[in-house]
Structure 1
Amino acid sequence: MSTPRITGKARLAGVLGHPVAHSLSPVLHNYWLERLGVDGAYVPLPVAPDQFVTAVRGLQAAGFRGANVTIPHKEAAFAIADEVAPMARVAGSVNTLVFGEDGRIRGSSTDGFGFLASLEAEGIDIGAVRDRGAALLLGAGGAARSIAAALMERGFSVIVTNRTATRARELVETLSQAWRDHAAGAMPALSTLPWDHPAGVPADVSLLVNTTSLGMAGGPDASWAPDLTGAADHLIVADIVYVPCETPLLEAAATRGLTAIGGLGMLLHQARPGFRAWFGAEAEVDAATVAYVSAVLKR
């Protein structure tokens, strides 16, 4: 008889959300666990907001190694962590909790890491992109803040634009204060740009990132794409939406001859730090991983 993968010594982790049935994290982590032969399991944990603290303490008591956190629990995760990584403090978001043997909870944000790793996996030289111009972020939500913090850490000037201009200004003000409070070194330039002015993407922008749900299948505007005619020829276009894999924005970028990066890579790469912390193994985002998760998305 072969040795079972899950034993009484199994390492356990999961994802807390409300709802959580849509999450691809269990698919991804359990694929890696089986592929690497790790004695462990990763489970979906549907937890109502008023039960979040109780659930986290219960997972600690039950011997879990930690958990991912998704909507609507990221603020609560930030609050419950005994230690929060500096850039997670700048991002104002925690999506990964690690339960230490000392009883302390350590929180981090891996979204920004996942985004940058997805670019590097496509052969993008982050430093070269930074040196050619600013990063323009479409949207002013939690994903925008996490990605902006990661870009700022790499020295990017960041411009934020949002359909509601006040939200873009609030994001820049909040990020600026958080950087001064928690980050080391000089703060890169942070600014806003009106959503509809100037038309299209300015020529001095080297990286365009859509952090909104625009272009998402079933979203508020599934056919949305900005005007890219005036963009620089070296512009990198990234979309964190991964359903569909090629959004109208990415199609427009490809038509214009620009480098286009989809959102699936960010989803996969952001999971790697948590997997390493909980299961003690390095997960690889390779062609087999992409193919497996893509097949699940198409079901």
Structure 2
Amino acid sequence: MPSPRRAAVLGSPIAHSLSPVLHRAAYAALGLDAWSYDRFEMDEAGLPGFVAGLDESWAGLSLTMPLKRAIIPLLDEISDTAASVEAVNTVVFTEDGRRVGDNTDIPGLIAALRERGVDKVESAAVLGAGATASSALAALARICTGPVTAYVRSEARAEEMRGWGERLGVDVRTADWANADRAFAAPLVIATTPAGTTDALAEEVPGAPGTLFDVLYHPWPTPLAAAWSKGGGAVLGGLDLLVHQAVLQVEQMTGVPEAPLSAMRDAGERALATA
């Protein structure tokens, strides 16, 4: 009988996390009966002790806010992708006992767009300037051939986004949030703001818009996403990102060459439908 293997998602708040649903669906589809995946409410203060107490049964961890940077000093190595945004959302424990960090949000975002036929764009817009916005810029560095305009609420945020652009090799231009409706002329718009922030913009969506990637997933659709769909534009949501980044996590933690994307998405959709 295979030895039990453990993984979990850590963060605060964590009760809403869909990660257990997605990872457990993958284990079931792959026949990994000895694998379990849990969630732990965790802040920065408790993280070092938790990690130090993990035994050899642990295969990996998923990290959400506020731990994506706090985990870095506790690791032996992080990938170039994670280093580019100073954020780790995935830790894999290797057979020789090393702790290796990665960021699957960035390739997950790219994979979600590619699934919808978006491989390259000539320009893009980002709504917001938080941690998710920096990951969006890192993804756009690989698929956007022209400028990216970030719509933000303060000059401090604008300066921060321009700094990320310089670091990531993206031509980032900034604009005031009061003019955020102008973002909708871009072929790709990535909304990274908290729930409710873009609701007032729904009335400004033009006819025949491009592609919207709204990183929220509950409640869904957001007013902006609904208006976008009504206008005939392509819409991706937070579940698309969650599933694609989780696929990469499952592959890294278990070593399987291909995680069951469809089974994971179906499980996520069922969970949201009953939430």
Paired with 1:275 and 1:33, the residues of 2 have a C-alpha distance of 9
**Taking structure 2 as the reference length, what is the TM-score of the superposition?**
0.89
- Cross-structure match for 1:195: 177
- Cross-structure match for 1:32: 26
Paired with 1:202 and 1:273, the residues of 2 have a C-alpha distance of 30
Paired with 1:214 and 1:225, the residues of 2 have a C-alpha distance of 13
- What is the CA-CA distance between 1:221 and the residue it aligns to? 6.8
Alignment partner for residue 244 of structure 1, among 215, 219, 228? 219
2:225 is equivalent to residue 225 of structure 1 = no
Q: Is the 8 Å Cα contact of residues 11 and 279 (structure 1) preserved in structure 2?
A: no
Identity over the aligned pairs, expressed in percent?
32
Alignment of 1:80-159 (within 5 A): 80-122=74-116, 124-127=117-120, 130=121, 133-156=122-145, 157-159=147-149
Q: Is the 8 Å Cα contact of residues 165 and 195 (structure 1) preserved in structure 2?
A: no
- Cross-structure match for 1:255: 230
Paired with 1:226 and 1:137, the residues of 2 have a C-alpha distance of 18
Alignment partner for residue 173 of structure 1, among 163, 166, 169? 163
**Counterpart code for 1:196:** A
- What is the CA-CA distance between 1:142 and the residue it aligns to? 0.7
- What is the CA-CA distance between 1:28 and the residue it aligns to? 1.1
- What is the CA-CA distance between 1:173 and the residue it aligns to? 1.0
Paired with 1:119 and 1:109, the residues of 2 have a C-alpha distance of 17
CA RMSD in angstroms comes to 2.2
Aligned length: 271
2:40 is equivalent to residue 58 of structure 1 = no
Q: Is the 8 Å Cα contact of residues 11 and 278 (structure 1) preserved in structure 2?
A: no
Q: Is the 8 Å Cα contact of residues 123 and 144 (structure 2) preserved in structure 1?
A: no
- What is the CA-CA distance between 1:253 and the residue it aligns to? 1.1
Paired with 2:144 and 2:114, the residues of 1 have a C-alpha distance of 16
- What is the CA-CA distance between 1:21 and the residue it aligns to? 1.8
- Cross-structure match for 1:3: none
Alignment partner for residue 251 of structure 2, among 276, 280, 289? 276
1:201 aligned counterpart, secondary structure: helix
Q: Is the 8 Å Cα contact of residues 26 and 42 (structure 1) preserved in structure 2?
A: yes
- Cross-structure match for 1:4: none
Structure 1: gaps of 5 or more residues: 1-6, 180-186
Structure 2: gaps of 5 or more residues: none
**Taking structure 1 as the reference length, what is the TM-score of the superposition?**
0.83
Q: Is the 8 Å Cα contact of residues 161 and 172 (structure 2) preserved in structure 1?
A: no
